[in-house]
Amino acid sequence: MPGATLGVGVRGPGSGVRGDAARLDPVAVRARFPILGRRVNGHRLVYLDSAATTQKPEAVLEAIQRMYRYSNANVHRGVHTLAEEATAAYEACRQRVARFLHAPDPRGVVILRNATEALNLVARAWGARLGPGDEVIATAMEHHSNLVPWIMLTRERGVTLRHVPITDGGELDLGAYERMLSPRTRIVAVTAMSNVLGTINPVAEMAAAAHRVGAVVVVDGAQSVPHLPVGFAALGADFLAFSAHKAYGPTGVGFLVGRPELLDRMEPVSGGGEMIREVHLDRATWNDVPHRFEAGTPSIVDAAAFPAALDLLEELGMDAVRRHEEELVAYALERLRSLGFLRLHGPLDPARRGALVSFVDPEIHPHDQAQVLDGLGIAVRAGHHCAQPLMRRLGEVATTRASFGIHTDRDDVDALVDGLLATRRYFGG
Amino acid sequence: MDSGPTLPLDELYREVVLDHSRRPRGRDPLPRVDASARGFNPVCGDEVEVRVRVEAATVAGVQVTGRGCAICTASGSLLAEVLPGRRLDQTTSTIEAFRGVMHGQAPTGEVELGDLEALSGVARFPVRVKCAMLPWVTLEDALEAWQSGGPLLVASTEREEARP
Ligand SMILES: Cc1ncc(COP(=O)(O)O)c(C=O)c1O
């Protein structure tokens, strides 16, 4: 019975203070994910790559099936029953995301393909207001998705791009940030949580400072939204981008959540069906926000299935999710540190970081390490994690990253630690 | 926890491969460099530099340096060991034969592969083919640039992707 026993006290989303949050039982949660029952290379699958994409719970898989089996139709343009059902399911996703993020107005939720598309949309549409002399501030720990669109803006519009440096402890240098802000600052782009270091950035504080100089704040929430109990308003951001596929939902759906009054002032960047009000042969008027930004047939079924993932997160409670993952990261850091041979990156304080750890064994290239771990059924990611400038700053060519989720438990961390030792033995270390 | 990693891994990391990755050959500087290029694997950030000395249309010496995984390092080391003494046309066919092996083709026997065959297990790990190819595409670029007198480019394993 879905929803029967997750070992979690029933609480509403965001209720309860931290430390008093309900406990999450990862073993019960694991049972919700069919894929976690499979074996890889003869071993139990230990999935430690949730930061790249999360696995999908049964409820999401069922929702996808249900849509295709019973309610499949294109949205917004039909009067028949299926079209009406599909439209309702698609729009329910928008409502559900707004509710999950405590965003007051669903008009502020634009349904796109992924976080990358959302960040590109802001860079283009809001960036169109910028010109030479204007400045965009990003940080040295951004994913390429929240960096390259701004680099493109410097090429296209002569805008200056600046970067908040990071400290040796893997956090943003806030003093440098404050000094960088000026009336020329038009946009501040920052990730709420680093996908390499795990660092949780003080976005609300940074946003308040940015607003004092009249800049708008664009937050990359790809890693934070699925793992941290922070609503849109509390973040203090003007725009927030994230992907459903990293939040236990389907691939092909991402969101730009923005303040509707800002979205109203943005021109569309992609033209076609759905985004127009009236079209003549030589001119057109735009549809209202958010539809103005949703040209063409969207990923209807995947969007319709995403609420099932958010339902699961809220059933567990985001406070419980965070507590679980913070405890897990503390345990992982302690165990990995006790191995004695790893270079660990990111803040040492688990309270300041999200559910992932990046490390390097100086004797073994991350690619080889990930390969041997895969032989043991352990899925980790090795590489630059789409953050090449950060890798350079860390002085690494690549790192190995183990990232956690609601179904991860200490056994998974133990398997990783054993695997790292086995890898050393394998290469004769 | 049980025994250790299961099988196909040993296909990838054969003894010869591990040996070359631990003690790569061909690291020493050459007395003279005729062709050289830098290569980059954007997937993992690995980098190699290949330098070649050519005498009488024959590879007289090879130096391979850089930072890479065990497969990339072993592949560069084997390249440096196998190529000296081969004429340039034989070098080209060796590159093609090795590429064929990486893409799962059985060696034709026309080209002497020697210890390079130890890398044939890589073909079963498609993600790692680029690792093994990095020194080779870099060598290709070095020779092409040298022969055409053109500028030295940074080779990229991305082009392996576009191959049939
Ligand atoms: C911090 C961060 N931002 C953005 C992205 C891009 O997400 P997507 O590929 O779904 O657009 C990722 C995912 O890798 C990420 O970790």
pLDDT tens-digit profile, chain B (164 residues): 444 555 578 999 999 999 999 999 999 999 999 999 999 988 777 899 999 999 999 999 999 999 899 999 999 999 999 999 999 999 999 999 999 999 998 888 888 999 999 999 999 998 899 999 999 999 999 999 888 876 666 666 766 655 54
Q: What is the mean pLDDT of chain B?
A: 88
Interval between CA A116 and ligand 1 midpoint (Å): 6
Interval between CA A20 and ligand 1 midpoint (Å): 31
Q: Is B84 helix (H, G, I), strand (E, B) or coil?
A: coil
Distance from CA of B55 to the nearest CA of A (A): 35
Q: What pLDDT does residue B110 have?
A: 86
Q: What pLDDT does residue A309 have?
A: 98
A125 token code pair: 């549409």
Class of residue B141 by CB neighbours under 10 A (exposed 0-12, middle 13-18, buried 19+):
buried
DSSP state of B22: H
Tell the residue number behind the tokens 């240098």, with chain if given. Answer: A173
Residue B71: partners with Cβ closer than 8 Å, 6 or more residues away: A367, A368, B12, B17, B21, B119, B122, B128, B131, B132
Q: What pLDDT does residue A205 have?
A: 97
A290 preceded by a cis bond (ω within 30 of 0): yes
Tell me the C-alpha distance between A366 and A162, whole Å. 31
The answer to whether the CB atoms of A368 and B69 lie below 8 A apart is: yes
Task: Indicate the number of domains in chain B.
Answer: 1
Residues in chain B: 164
| Cα Rg of chain B, angstroms | 15
Q: What pLDDT does residue A371 have?
A: 95
Class of residue A235 by CB neighbours under 10 A (exposed 0-12, middle 13-18, buried 19+):
buried
Pocket perturbation via mutation, ligand 1, pick of A117, A246, A385, A399 by most ligand atoms within 8 A of CB: A246
Residue B127 within any structural domain of the chain = yes
Nearest to A365 among B2, B12, B69 (CB): B69
Q: How far apart are the first and last CA of chain B?
A: 41
Chain B hits for A382, CB-CB cut-off 8 Å, are: 44
Residue B160 within any structural domain of the chain = no
Task: Choose among A226, A197, A218, A120: nearest CA to A401.
Answer: A197
Return the number of other C-beta atoms located less than 10 Å from residue A282's C-beta: 5
The answer to whether the CB atoms of B70 and A415 lie below 8 A apart is: no
Residue A131: partners with Cβ closer than 8 Å, 6 or more residues away: A157, A158, A159
The residues of chain A scoring below 50 in pLDDT are 1-19
Distance from CA of B45 to the nearest CA of A (A): 5
Residues in chain A: 429
Residue B157 within any structural domain of the chain = no
* Ligand 1 contact, A243 CB (< 6 A): yes
Q: What's the Cα-to-Cα distance from A362 to each of A332, A341, A412, A429, B10, rounded to whole Å? A: 19, 8, 23, 11, 22
Contact status, residue A172 vs residue A166, Cβ threshold 8 Å? yes
Task: Name the CATH code of domain A59-314 (choices 3.30.930.10, 3.90.180.10, 3.40.640.10, 3.40.50.300).
Answer: 3.40.640.10
The angle at the Cα of B80, spanning B75 to B81, to the nearest 5 degrees, equals: 95
Residues of chain A with CATH 3.90.1150.10: 26-49+317-426
Indicate the helix (H) or strand (E) that contains B42.
none
Contacts with A, B 32-71, CB within 8 Å = 43-47, 67-71
Tell me the C-alpha distance between A400 and A368, whole Å. 10
A155 token code pair: 């090429």
ipTM above 0.95, yes or no: no
Q: How many whole angstroms from its chain centre is CA A258?
A: 16
Show the 3-state SS of chain A: CCCCCCCCCCCCCCCCCCCCCCCCCHHHHHCCCHHHHCEECCEECEECECCCCCCCCHHHHHHHHHHHHHCCCCCCCCCCHHHHHHHHHHHHHHHHHHHHCCCCCHHHEEEECCHHHHHHHHHHHCHHHCCCCCEEEEECCCCHHHCHHHHHHHHHHCCEEEEECECCCCCECHHHHHHHCCCCEEEEEEECECCCCCEECCHHHHHHHHHHCCCEEEEECCCCCCCCCCCHHHHCCCEEEEEHHHCCCCCCCEEEEECHHHHCCCCCCCCCCCCEEEECCCCEEECCCCHHHCCCCCCHHHHHHHHHHHHHHHHHCHHHHHHHHHHHHHHHHHHHHHHCCCEEECCCCHHHECCEEEEEECCECHHHHHHHHHHCCEECEEECCCCHHHHHHHCCCCEEEEECCCCCCHHHHHHHHHHHHHHHHHCCC
DSSP E strands, chain B:
35-41, 46-55, 58-67, 154-156
**Plot region of B144 (φ>0 → left; ψ -120 to 50 → alpha; else → beta):** alpha
Task: Tell me if the pTM is above 0.80.
Answer: yes
Residue B158 within any structural domain of the chain = no
Q: What pLDDT does residue B54 have?
A: 94
Tell the residue number behind the tokens 């200056």, with chain if given. Answer: A160
Residue A95: partners with Cβ closer than 8 Å, 6 or more residues away: A106
Contact status, residue A405 vs residue A215, Cβ threshold 8 Å? no
* Ligand 1 contact, A145 CB (< 6 A): yes
Distance from CA of A55 to the nearest CA of B (A): 21
Residues of chain A with CATH 3.40.640.10: 59-314
Class of residue A191 by CB neighbours under 10 A (exposed 0-12, middle 13-18, buried 19+):
buried
Nearest to B67 among A42, A397, A422 (CB): A397
Chain A hits for B22, CB-CB cut-off 8 Å, are: 428
Q: What's the Cα-to-Cα distance from B138 to each of A47, A302, B75, rounded to whole Å? A: 35, 42, 12
Chain B hits for A371, CB-CB cut-off 8 Å, are: 9, 12, 125, 128
Task: Choose among A222, A225, A229: nearest CA to A316.
Answer: A229
Class of residue B16 by CB neighbours under 10 A (exposed 0-12, middle 13-18, buried 19+):
middle
CATH number at residue B50: 3.90.1010.10
Q: Which CATH superfamily is domain A26-49+317-426 in?
A: Aspartate Aminotransferase, domain 1 (3.90.1150.10)
Residue A40 at interface with chain B, using a CB cutoff of 8 Å: no
Residue B44 within any structural domain of the chain = yes
* Ligand 1 contact, A361 CB (< 6 A): no
